[in-house]
């Protein structure tokens, strides 16, 4: 697995996981989530009418209007069910394929024109195309979240292993130190030797003791370049 591409991803995920109050399942009111509405999420990350549809949108008022119009004039949509029933049409393979293709090129239908054209080509209502894109974006995001989750799990494991290894190393060094002859211990006071954690060089100057820089272990860095 290539972890290189996760740099942005990880950051974004961390931001998401930050303790912002996210979901209130009981309260349907929207939480203040500034910026979440805009497409700022890194692709890491891992949103969807005829004459009546011209100018359609998800704005409550306009959507209601749109639906009202559809209900009064949209009988032709019900090739498989009741007029106002919740009959859900299943998109054909061809329709889905075409939508997928469009989605590859742009995940949003920026101008109305695109939506209208797609709807015409697919013999769907623009609203349906719009909804499809919304759901598709949601699916993409969900998938990406799963990927991020896996990545973080791997990170966690690697860090745990590294932590274990370092603890072991410390233990060994302690044992070594105890087993050293007394005269050697006196000759080389431990305080005078410091190892740079980045370059692993011994610094033996007692007057200017090595002050370690904050050191963060990067499990995926090929080599540490801190020094």
Partner DNA sequence: GAACATGGTGTCATTACATCA
Partner DNA sequence: AGTGATGTAATGACACCATGT
Alpha-carbon span 14 to 22, nearest angstrom: 14
Neighbours of 37 (CB within 10 A): 9
**H or E element in which residue 194 lies:** strand 194-195
- Which of 19, 21, 32, 189: binder of DNA (CB under 7 A)? 32
Q: Which of 20, 33, 163, 185 binds DNA (CB under 7 A)?
A: 33
Q: Site map for DNA, 75-94, x if CB under 7 A?
A: -----xx---xxxxxxx---
Least separation in angstroms between residue 38's CB and DNA is 6
Site for DNA contains 130 (CB under 7 A): yes
Task: Identify the bridge partners of residue 127 per DSSP, sorted by sequence position.
Answer: none
Owner of token pair 């203040």: 32
Task: Give me the sign of the Cα torsion angle 102, 108, 111, 117.
Answer: positive
* Site for DNA contains 108 (CB under 7 A): yes
Q: Stretches 53-61, 189-197, 204-212, 219-227: which one binds DNA (CB under 7 A)?
A: 53-61
Residue among 2, 30, 105, 222 that touches DNA (CB under 7 A):
30
Q: HSE of 135 in the Cβ direction (CA atoms, 13 Å)?
A: 9
139 binding DNA? (CB under 7 A): yes
In angstroms, the CA 127 to CA 57 distance is 8
Q: How far apart, in whole angstroms, are the C-alpha atoms of residue 153 and residue 19? A: 19
CB of 196 to DNA, least distance (A): 43
Is residue 23 at the binding interface for DNA, with CB under 7 A as the rule?
yes
Closest by Cα among 185, 181, 188 to 204: 188
* Count of residues that bind DNA according to CB under 7 A: 57
Q: Which chain residues interact with DNA by CB under 7 A?
A: 22-23, 25, 28-30, 32-39, 47-48, 54-64, 67, 80-81, 85-91, 96, 108-112, 115, 127-128, 130-139, 141
């Amino acid at each position: 697995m290539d972890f290189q591409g996760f740099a942005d991803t990880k950051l974004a995920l961390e931001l998401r996981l930050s303790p912002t109050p996210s979901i209130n399942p009981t309260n349907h009111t929207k939480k203040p989530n500034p910026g979440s509405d805009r497409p700022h999420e890194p692709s890491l990350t891992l949103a969807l009418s005829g004459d009546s549809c011209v100018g359609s949108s998800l704005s409550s008022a306009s959507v209601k209007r749109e639906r009202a119009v559809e209900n009064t004039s949209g009988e032709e949509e019900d090739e498989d069910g009741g007029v106002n029933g919740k009959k859900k049409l299943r998109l054909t393979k061809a329709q889905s394929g075409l939508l997928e293709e469009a989605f590859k090129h742009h995940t949003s239908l920026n101008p109305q024109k695109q939506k209208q054209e797609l709807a015409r080509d697919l013999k769907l209502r623009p609203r349906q195309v719009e909804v499809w894109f919304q759901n598709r974006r949601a699916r993409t995001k969900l998938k990406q979240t799963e990927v991020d989750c896996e990545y973080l799990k791997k990170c966690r494991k690697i860090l745990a292993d590294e932590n274990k290894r370092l603890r072991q190393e410390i233990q060994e060094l302690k044992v070594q130190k105890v087993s050293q002859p007394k005269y050697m211990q006196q000759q080389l006071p431990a305080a005078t030797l410091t190892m740079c954690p980045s370059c692993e060089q011994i610094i033996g100057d007692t007057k200017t003791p090595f002050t370690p820089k904050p050191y963060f272990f990067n499990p995926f860095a090929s080599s540490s370049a801190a020094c």
